[in-house]
Structure 1
Amino acid sequence: MISEQSWDEIKESLKVGTKLKGVVTKHFPFGIFVFLPHIEFTGIVQIPDFKDEGHMTPSDYPAVGSSVNVVVLAFKEAGQQIWLSMKPSQLNQSK
């Protein structure tokens, strides 16, 4: 879902640890998809990347359409995926 930027340009502009604001677009049993408007790309927050402590279930997900703060965790080359985190400890340490 890359628009005007190439995958390499997205990886170069974001960097691991970058804090972003996005919009929840879909729920799945393994996590949520978050649209990142300024790069027009959708990233993934998996269940282990929501909370520092405690259990997360799909019933705890933020609502589709809600705005969320996320941090870039990693880039997965296969499938060109951006893995994101919503953990408070990582949000507090990010730029």
Structure 2
Amino acid sequence: MAGKQNGDGEAESQRILRRLAAESEPGGTFVARMTGRARDHLSAADVDSSDRIEQIGTRIGRWLAAAITVAVLVGFVLFLMQRG
């Protein structure tokens, strides 16, 4: 019984170490994962693909929200630059 628990613990430890090594890899993995998530979000990959209207509406809404966010941030930076 103790041998089985020890073996399970070692397997779990190895799995955690592999995952930690993959996540802490410099540059490529983190950046690729984040750009993939952003691409999937903006292209509405999580929406039901059989409902074309919902998919198009979700894409428009998400792109519009991203554009408005960028515009507000640019406006805020310009406002701060005027005051300085």
Give the TM-score taking structure 2 as reference length.
Answer: 0.21
Structure showing greater relative contact order (alpha-carbon pairs closer than 8 Å, 6 or more residues apart): 1
Q: Which has the higher helix share?
A: 2
Q: Which has the higher strand share?
A: 1
